[in-house]
Structure 1
Amino acid sequence: MMRWSTFKKMVMLEQTVFGLTWVLAAALLPLADAGTQVHWAEPARWLALVAAFLSARVAGMAFNRIIDRDIDAANPRTKDRVLPSGEASLLQVKLVAALSSFGFVGACASINPILAWASPFLLLLIYVYAYTKRFTSLCHFVMGLISGLGPVCAWAAMTDSIALAPVLMGLALLCSIAAMDIIYALQDLDYDAAHGLHSIPVRLGRSRSVYLSRVLHACTVLALMLVGLSLNLHWTYYCGIVGIAGLLVFHHASLRPSHNTWIYRSFFAVNARVGIAVLFIVVEVLAWGVMS
Structure 2
Amino acid sequence: MILNKAIEKIHDYGVLVMFSHTIFSLSFALISMLLASNGLPSPYKIFWILLAFMGARTGANAINRVIDAEIDAKNPRTATRQLPQGLMKKKEVILFVIGCFLLMVISAAMLNPLCLILSPIALFLMVIYSYTKRFTWACHLVLGITSAAAPVGAWLAITGKISWLPLFMGAANTLWVAGFDIIYGAQDYDFDTANGIHSIPARFGVRNALHISTLFHGITLCLLVIVGILSSHLGVIYYIGLTIISVLFIAEHKMVSPNNLTNVKIASYGINQIISITFLICGVIDALI
Give the TM interval when normalised to the shorter protein: over 0.9
The corresponding residue for 2:34 is 28
- In 2, Cα distance between equivalents of 1:97 and 1:235: 41
Task: In structure 1, list runs of 5 or more residues that go unmatched.
Answer: 33-37
Q: Are 1:256 and 1:263, in contact at CA under 8 Å, matched by a contact in 2?
A: no
Instruction: Compute the TM-score of the two structures, normalised by the length of structure 2.
Output: 0.92
The corresponding residue for 2:286 is 285
- In 2, Cα distance between equivalents of 1:8 and 1:254: 28
Which letter maps to 2:68?
D
Task: In structure 2, list runs of 5 or more residues that go unmatched.
Answer: 1-5
Rate the CA distance shift 1:217–1:278 in 2: closer, same or farther, 3 A: same
* Structure 1, 160-169 or 130-139: larger mean CA deviation: 160-169
- In 1, Cα distance between equivalents of 2:98 and 2:255: 41
User: Does structure 1 residue 80 correspond to structure 2 residue 80?
Assistant: yes
Q: Secondary structure at the match of 2:80?
A: coil
Q: Please show how residues 147-162 of structure 1 align to structure 2 within 5 Å.
A: 147-162=147-162
Residue by residue over 1:204-238, the C-alpha shift from the partner in whole angstroms, topping out at 9 and shown as x without a partner, is: 10110000000000000000000011124424432
TM-superposed CA distance for 1:254, in Å, is 2.5
The corresponding residue for 1:35 is none
Q: Are 1:31 and 1:286, in contact at CA under 8 Å, matched by a contact in 2?
A: no
Q: Are 1:72 and 1:78, in contact at CA under 8 Å, matched by a contact in 2?
A: yes
TM-superposed CA distance for 1:64, in Å, is 1.0
Q: Are 1:172 and 1:219, in contact at CA under 8 Å, matched by a contact in 2?
A: yes
Which letter maps to 1:268?
Y
The corresponding residue for 1:11 is 17
Q: Secondary structure at the match of 1:84?
A: helix
Q: Secondary structure at the match of 1:103?
A: helix
* Percent of pairs with identical residues: 35
Q: Secondary structure at the match of 1:158?
A: helix
- In 2, Cα distance between equivalents of 1:240 and 1:62: 32
User: Does structure 1 residue 187 correspond to structure 2 residue 187?
Assistant: yes
User: Does structure 1 residue 250 correspond to structure 2 residue 256?
Assistant: no
TM-superposed CA distance for 1:257, in Å, is 4.7
- In 1, Cα distance between equivalents of 2:143 and 2:14: 20
Alignment length (residue pairs): 282
Q: Secondary structure at the match of 1:255?
A: coil
Instruction: Compute the TM-score of the two structures, normalised by the length of structure 1.
Output: 0.92
- In 1, Cα distance between equivalents of 2:167 and 2:25: 15
Which letter maps to 1:264?
K
TM-superposed CA distance for 1:30, in Å, is 2.6
Which letter maps to 1:277?
T
Q: Secondary structure at the match of 1:83?
A: helix
* Structure 1, 152-161 or 221-230: larger mean CA deviation: 152-161
Q: Please show how residues 118-129 of structure 1 align to structure 2 within 5 Å.
A: 118-129=118-129
Residue by residue over 1:33-85, the C-alpha shift from the partner in whole angstroms, topping out at 9 and shown as x without a partner, is: xxxxx7x4421211111111111111111211111111111110011111111
Residue by residue over 1:234-268, the C-alpha shift from the partner in whole angstroms, topping out at 9 and shown as x without a partner, is: 24432321221111112112324555552112222
TM-superposed CA distance for 1:29, in Å, is 1.6
Q: Are 1:256 and 1:262, in contact at CA under 8 Å, matched by a contact in 2?
A: no
Q: Are 1:82 and 1:88, in contact at CA under 8 Å, matched by a contact in 2?
A: yes
The corresponding residue for 1:93 is 93
The corresponding residue for 1:241 is 242
User: Does structure 1 residue 272 correspond to structure 2 residue 273?
Assistant: yes
Q: Are 1:257 and 1:263, in contact at CA under 8 Å, matched by a contact in 2?
A: no
The corresponding residue for 1:164 is 164
